[in-house]
Chain A
């Protein structure tokens, strides 16, 4: 599913964010990526949806070699990857429904399909009743659920989340994690960078720990392993 071989990434300013990463993530896995700030978690994740290109090494997703992928084909790759961020990245002038539909409109999906898919997805994240509200009228957890709905509305095979609970209180974080678990149970691969120790230690999944651009630990049903 996701394969990285000897991946190096050096930024123009000299920072080495990936220093020989080898990893294999199978279809349907749920993986936590942990490590201190600046360890290279974000780069690790960004290389998967080709926001960053590695300086060396090969990355394969769904059989697509990202190194050989033309810039013009990147959009097609992204249609198979859902991405969720700490800051939700919702459009404040659009309603909940429109925010989710936006993801399908801009890839020129048929209007009939859009309506059906958006309503199904809003149902899944439990926000059908708030479809007409604006993001500013929602709580943080609800906003994150909208953003999750947007990322899965096109049924991607992989979901990538960068600190999805970073801005949420513990209770809301658990709601969001249950939602991720449900999505994972439907067969979607999930790769999540997180600093949330409780979640990692309670909802046990594979843990990849990154430090200094290297994988220093990779355990099935692992622990967070850091103090905070």
Chain B
């Protein structure tokens, strides 16, 4: 047997020992384990629900953002030359991504198409089109829509500038506020759970103070001492993630089944159950593991000071 084989063998054995130790301790401190897992569970349910809502808001925002455009109605008095100058002026604006010219004939066709059978009536106007030629302007960043629109409004021959003002502004405000509130809430909840776990584990550590003392006395390394605690934290966190994942999966399954058909035909949509719910599960397990490990290592730290 080579020395590396001996080494891996030892490591596997050590890991088994750590696993056994941490399981034993979770079992021995049954109520504490239950309390910690419950703390993680409650936190992750709340975090998970926020996460699902935020991700969907984000999705809605993105679809709307992609769709936001500024429609500049060109004054009928403008000559072709004037239109060309105006287009160049708009293109020169810093935050403009693209400017597309849509002649009034195309506008009328679009109107007739969008109205379906009733649109037939508008065909009468083909001889004498009352619509304006239009520039369709897209900004690099959807949040700049309002500023850019205001600048275009000031230009000569811009008879009307439309961008769904109220809706866009309100939506962005709403999304920004809810994003920030969500993030603050999530961080607050995570910290609460971490401290709950670290306190719980601290109580179990006090019972193991002598064990740690002896380990240090006979020359166990700090990492060796830390391992079982690391694993315990990990298990607490991952155990705490199970109920939230199951619960949120069910809820989202029903919510999706209810909402998705009602949004059909609209340009907004919510995230599909699969793969979204797997991402949620991954995030919750990861968060659970993180708070568990962090909480437990925090509480063992003090006992390892040399």
Contacts of B221 in A (CB 8 A): 72, 75
Q: Is the CB of A91 within 8 A of B10?
A: no
Interface size class of B (residues with CB under 8 A): 10 to 19
Q: Is the CB of A71 within 8 A of B306?
A: yes
Q: Which of A82-119 contact B (CB under 8 A)?
A: 83, 89, 91, 102-103, 105-108, 110-111
Q: Which of B17, B216, B217, B225 is A105 in contact with, Cβ under 8 Å?
A: B17
Q: Is the CB of B222 within 8 A of A103?
A: no
Give the A-B pair count, Cβ closer than 8 A: 52
Contacts of A107 in B (CB 8 A): 218-220, 224
Binds A, one of B174-182, B188-196, B207-215, B257-265: B207-215
Q: Is the CB of A103 within 8 A of B218?
A: yes
Q: Is the CB of B13 within 8 A of A75?
A: no
Q: Is the CB of A75 within 8 A of B219?
A: yes
Task: Report if A89-B222 is in contact (Cβ < 8 Å); known contacts: A108-B10, A108-B14, A110-B10.
Answer: no
Which of A72, A91, A108 is packed against the most chain B CB atoms within 10 Å? A108
Q: Is the CB of B218 within 8 A of A154?
A: yes
A117 to chain B: closest CB distance in Å?
Answer: 13
Chain A residues with a Cβ closer than 8 Å to the other chain, count = 24
Task: Report if A108-B224 is in contact (Cβ < 8 Å); known contacts: A50-B306, A91-B210, A91-B211.
Answer: yes
Contacts of A75 in B (CB 8 A): 216, 219-222
Q: Is the CB of B213 within 8 A of A89?
A: yes
Q: Is the CB of B219 within 8 A of A102?
A: no
Contacts of B13 in A (CB 8 A): 111
* Complex-state Cα separation, A89 to B210, whole angstroms: 7
Which of B219, B220, B224 is packed against the most chain A CB atoms within 10 Å? B219
* Complex-state Cα separation, A178 to B214, whole angstroms: 25
Q: Is the CB of B218 within 8 A of A150?
A: yes
* Complex-state Cα separation, A150 to B17, whole angstroms: 20
Contacts of B214 in A (CB 8 A): 89, 91, 102-103, 150
Task: Report if A78-B306 is in contact (Cβ < 8 Å); known contacts: A89-B210, A105-B17, A111-B13.
Answer: no
A207 to chain B: closest CB distance in Å?
Answer: 26
Q: Is the CB of A79 within 8 A of B219?
A: yes
Closest to B306 in A: A71
Q: Is the CB of B219 within 8 A of A78?
A: yes
A156 to chain B: closest CB distance in Å?
Answer: 9
Closest to B214 in A: A89
Task: Report if A106-B224 is in contact (Cβ < 8 Å); known contacts: A78-B216, A78-B218, A150-B218.
Answer: yes
Contacts of B219 in A (CB 8 A): 75-79, 106-107, 154
Q: Which of A135-167 contact B (CB under 8 A)?
A: 150-151, 154
* Complex-state Cα separation, A111 to B10, whole angstroms: 9
Q: Is the CB of B220 within 8 A of A106?
A: yes
Contacts of A89 in B (CB 8 A): 210, 213-214, 217
A91 to chain B: closest CB distance in Å?
Answer: 6
Contacts of A83 in B (CB 8 A): 217
Q: Give the B-binding residues of A (Cβ under 8 A).
A: 49-50, 71-72, 74-79, 83, 89, 91, 102-103, 105-108, 110-111, 150-151, 154
In the assembled complex, 26 residue pairs joining A and B whose CB atoms fall closer than 8 Å, in A order, are A49-B217, A72-B221, A74-B306, A75-B219, A75-B220, A76-B219, A78-B219, A79-B218, A89-B214, A89-B217, A91-B210, A91-B211, A102-B214, A102-B218, A103-B214, A103-B218, A106-B215, A106-B220, A106-B224, A107-B218, A107-B219, A108-B10, A108-B224, A111-B13, A151-B218, A154-B219
3 smallest CB-CB distances across A and B, nearest first, come from A79-B219, A78-B219, A106-B220
